[in-house]
Amino acid sequence: MSTETLAAPTFATLAPPKRLLFGPGPTQVHPRVYEVLSKQIVGHLDPYFFEVLKEVQTLLRMVFGTENKFTIAISGTGTSGMETAVSNFVEPGTKVALFAAGYFADRIGEMAKRQGGNVVRLEKPWGEVANDADATEFIRREKPDVVAYVQAETSTGAFQQGKAICAVAHEVGAVVIADCVTSLGAMPVNVDETGIDIAYSCSQKGLSCPPGLAPITLSPRAVERLKARKTTNGSFYLDLKLLEEYYEGRKYHHTASATMWYGLREALVLIAEEGLQDRLERHRRAHVNVVKGFEQMGLRMHVAPEHRIWNLLTPRVPEGVNDGNVKTRLLKEHGIEIMGGFGQLAGKVFRIGVMGPLATDDNVQMFLRCFREALQAEGYKG
């Protein structure tokens, strides 16, 4: 077959529709981030690339709340960050104690099993979290090698505190993996203060960058564990030993994307300029206002007030309303993206993200107006 017979038809100029990304992610991107994405690339071994890397590392330490030297970003989406954490610290036979209360915790468990890990679970209904006593009993009983929890569970809207988990995990000699995919840049992650050993995230939620990079940071304890590992990671692409040789030693491993690193840098500089504390406070305030708006329209929140993620809200779908129809209506009429629940919460909650440039009073009020109209158009009387 000649390639000529496959000649492509004419393609229109790319013209994406305008969207207001009020879903769990990706979220709205700041114009300054868009601007740097079109800057000229440099090679993955160019001295300038390593200047950008160094700045990004400094800035990532700020948002992670850590002094960890080993702080980089994986060349993939948040899921690649999760797989990096799991594949580097779970070998065949590694015992993993998993705090299981949502889809992303389940995904960690699935990945750990694929690595040959022995996964034990502390189950909670989706939307709840483990308390300190539960956590302590679970870890002391199981004496795992690795403890894993999801700080901000995007599938449920619940935020899991980690101090007790980390303290007890260290008591039994385990390292702690925390999924910070949804919290980074929007809530206090506090890696060092909490005691997290391996924290990973993504570029496209609280950091408000397009998807494509997965920040990750390792405590000295995690680095020691990594170096002591005897079997080879099944993954070459995500092997942190090789990635350290690249990012620290400038030894070729893969072709990192200058474009993505430019975007991540700009998103982080925007956070530094705003001030991390001010930014987090802006997200907290937006959260309070969204919840107030939901309650005024008679909706009930799925998660108890003290356990809510600020930037990812899960109001319950009112009786008689089809969540899919509301979602489609918002997209068609206003270009607003939201998501529904899935797994245990399919059809039961909406998943609404209020992050980055959208976490302002005006945007919150605009969203609430459109959301209420859409609910009413789908038969809701509230």
Map the footprint of a second copy across residues 99-138, applying CB under 8 A: 107, 110-111, 114-115
Using CB under 8 A, pick the residue from 118, 136, 257, 376 that binds a second copy. Answer: 257
230 binds a second copy (CB under 8 A): no
Q: Write the burial class of residue 50 (CB in 10 Å: 0-12 exposed, 13-18 middle, 19+ buried).
A: middle
Q: Is 41 among the residues that bind a second copy (CB under 8 A)?
A: yes
Nearest-approach distance from CB 358 to a second copy, in angstroms: 13
233 binds a second copy (CB under 8 A): yes
* Helix runs in the chain, H state only: 31-37, 47-64, 78-89, 103-114, 132-142, 163-171, 191-194, 220-228, 240-247, 258-274, 276-296, 323-334, 361-377
Of 161, 280, 174, 263, nearest to 212 by C-alpha is 263
Beta carbon nearer to a second copy, 71 or 289? 71
Q: Does 245 bind a second copy (CB under 8 A)?
A: no
Name the minimum Å distance from CB 276 to a second copy: 5
Residues from 6 through 35 that contact a second copy (CB under 8 A): 6-8, 11, 14-19, 21, 23, 25-26, 29, 34-35
Work out how close the CB of 211 gets to a second copy at its nearest, in angstroms, rounded to a whole number. Answer: 4
Q: Who contacts 302 (Cβ-Cβ below 8 Å, separation ≥6)?
A: 127, 156, 157, 314, 315, 316, 345, 348, 349
Span 186-225, contacts to a second copy by CB under 8 A: 188, 190, 192-193, 202, 204, 210-212
Q: Decide if 355 contacts 282 (C-beta within 8 A).
A: no
Token pair of 227, please?
A: 């170096």
DSSP state of 349: B
Residue 110 C-beta: closest distance to a second copy, Å? 6
Q: Which stretch binds a second copy (CB under 8 A): 43-51, 118-126, 219-227, 307-315?
A: 43-51
CB-nearer residue toward a second copy: 259 or 325: 259
Q: Please answer whether residues 286 and 206 qualify as being in contact, where contact means their C-beta atoms are separated by less than 8 angstroms.
A: no
Residues within window 291-330 making contact with a second copy, judged by CB under 8 A: none
Residue 278 in the binding site for a second copy (CB under 8 A): no
Q: What is the DSSP string of 96-128?
A: EEEEE-SHHHHHHHHHHHHTT-EEEEEE--BTB
